[in-house]
Amino acid sequence: MPSSAPNRDDALITISGLRTVLGGKTIFDGVDLAIPRGRITAIMGPSGTGKTTLMRHVTGQLAPDAGTITVDGQDVWRLNREQLFALRERIGYLFQNSALLTDFSVFENVAFPLRQHLKLPEELVRNIVLTKLQAVGLRGAAELMPAELSGGMMRRVALARAIVRDPMLIIYDEPFVGLDPIALNQILKLIRTLNQTLGITSILVAHELAAVAQVADSIYLIAAGKIAAHGAPQELSRGESAWTKQFFAGEADGPVPFQYPAPDYATQLGLRGAAR
Amino acid sequence: MNALRVPLSPFTGGLAQIGACGLFLLQILRAVPRSLRYFRETVRQVFFVGAMSLVIIMTCGLFVGAVLGLQLYDVLSRFGSAAMSGTVVAFALYRELGPVVTALLFAGRAGTSITAEIGLMRATDQLDAMEMMAVDPIAYVVAPRFLAGLIAMPLLACTFNAMAILGAHMVCVSWLGLDNGTFWSNMTASVDVWTDVVNGVWKSLAFGGVVTLIATFQGYTTPPTSEGVAYATTRTVVFSSIVTLALDFVMTAFLM
């Protein structure tokens, strides 16, 4: 582990000794990490290493097999349902596939958390929603239905919904997928602005190093069920470990196998038998 | 609810499903007070599962009553009792056919739609998104549909009965020439409100609860794939039909 591990006293989220086994496969085996308050922390790693699963642990959606997870001093898995919901009201979550409510318009989707939890005058709800939609560039799409949006637009609406209550923590699960360069740049600016002006702690689960490096204060690289590396983006991209070298250079050869475990290729194609 | 999807052998799996469905019912009942916050959603669901089912219920009721009237008039006239046609039609409808046929039609029309809707919400992470927005999907999505089923089913059964009696009247009186006064007076003299009509209402209330419970349970626990939703929709119709008919026998035995 690099020396830049955050001070756990300043951390909004701490995870200790996390162990998770799903379907007989060990996803995490003794993971320890700390997400500092008011900073943007990226979680990166090869596909299928459990980045989204880690976020599901943090938000109390999936129970770990062992370990403790605290968010803002609360042990997530000791909370009852009411306490967990109270905690979730302070968390914005951008889902990988947007998860917009398909019966509601764009406006109603963004207004949904406000209407469910706050008794605000309609005019105020309207102003807040339009402000958030303006921030993601979709104020003009307020009356459209989710089925009328492209994948990138749906992601931006989901982002507006995630930030509509100015939460203490925002979890962005793959926020850059399907965004054109203009939208990508604006979303990066938005993430940075939310962090700098409101001090919102952000967790960015993403694969795009170039985009992540522009906003993230630090990166955790997860591989093989453990934290393979941790540090500032520039520090990690220059990293000498086999994990960082392979991941950031995008090479097929290295500690992370590109191929899913399979029988011998030549044997499966029948070439080895034919040679005999 | 992930624990409810544990694959087991067919027999133990079936028992586990019944147990899981029972626990799901408890979750719904616990969520009902909270779901009253979403009263407008319940009203919207009553419209979707009730008002939108009216066409099929009224059409089928009319034809079921017409066939019943035709058959009974034919059979009863052989014994010189054609005048009792209306009475027997009313007994059959209020006690059995009204609640049961309405429940079967309701399972096909509204039950499948509830399962598919909730199943797709599961497949597209909408239920998880609600959880993450601190909104309980059982209270917001499931309980209003369950309540809507309880409210709509007795009303639909009454509508079915009314249309079926109208159908029987058209056949027996307008077509086959049975006296109009005889048709109505024998019926009103023989049918008892409490033992015939109200018992039918109890049955339709129970069937409404069972069908919507099965429909919501299948949708809520469906694997998040298109195939999973398709199977869940089929299971809703199959299980609802079987349970409705079995429950009808049990309730008839107790209510007679």
Number of domains in chain B: 1
Residue numbers of the domain that contains A54: 1-90+169-276
Mean pLDDT of A228-242: 83
Residues 46-65 of A with CB under 8 A from B: 59, 61
Residue B93 lies in a domain: yes
Which DSSP category does A73 fall into?
T
Inform me whether the C-beta atom of residue B34 falls under 8 Å from chain A C-beta atoms.
no
Boundary-marking domain end, from A166, A184, A217: A166
Average pLDDT, rounded, for chain A = 88
First to last CA, chain A: 49
Instruction: Flag whether the ipTM exceeds 0.90.
Output: no
Among B2, B34, B132, the residue to mutate for chain A (most A Cβ within 10 A) = B132
Please list, residue by residue across B42-62, b when 16 or more beta carbons sit within 10 angstroms of its beta carbon and e when fewer do: beebbebbbeebbebbbebbb
The set of residues, in sequence order, having a beta carbon less than 8 Å from that of B159 and lying 6+ positions away, is B54, B57, B58, B61
pTM (predicted TM-score): 0.86
Q: Determine, for residues B132 and A88 on separate chains, whether the beta-carbon distance falls below 8 Å.
A: yes
> Residue A173 maps to which CATH number?
3.40.50.300
- Check A61 against B132: CB less than 8 A apart: yes
B191 domain-assigned: yes
Q: Which of A54, A62, A60 has its CA nearest to residue A72?
A: A60
Q: A89 and B134: CB-CB below 8 Å?
A: yes
Residues A143 and A108 in one domain: yes
CB neighbours of A47 closer than 8 A, spacing ≥ 6?
Answer: A207
Domain boundary among A109, A138, A166: A166
Q: Does A117 touch chain B (CB under 8 A)?
A: yes
For residue B120, the chain A residues in CB contact (below 8 A) are: 102
pLDDT in tens, chain B (256 residues): 555 555 567 788 888 989 999 999 999 999 999 998 889 999 999 999 999 999 999 999 999 999 999 999 999 999 999 999 999 999 999 999 999 999 999 999 999 999 999 999 999 999 999 999 999 999 999 999 999 999 999 999 999 999 999 999 999 999 999 999 999 999 999 999 988 999 999 999 999 999 999 999 999 999 999 999 999 999 999 999 999 999 999 999 988 7
In tens, the pLDDT along A34-77 reads: 999 999 999 998 888 899 999 999 999 999 999 999 999 999 99
Same-domain status, A34 and A62: yes
Distances (CA, A) of A224 to A26, A208, A236, B128, B232: 9, 20, 18, 27, 36
A160 and A184 share one domain: no
Is the CB of residue B136 less than 8 Å away from at least one CB of chain A?
yes
Q: Which domain covers residue B210, as residue numbers?
A: 7-255
Q: What is residue B153's predicted lDDT score, i.e. its pLDDT?
A: 96
In a domain, B154, yes or no: yes
**Residue predicted with more confidence, A180 or A129:** A129
* Residue B1 covered by a domain: no
Phi, psi for residue B178 in degrees, rounded to 5 = -65, 145
- A181 and A83, same structural domain? yes
Q: Give me the number of domains chain A comprises.
A: 2
Q: Is the separation of the CB atoms in A59 and A91 below 8 Å? A: yes
A54 and A99 inside one domain: no
Does residue A185 sit in the same domain as residue A159?
Answer: no
Distance of CA A254 to the CA centre of its chain: 25
Q: Is pLDDT of A244 > 90?
A: no
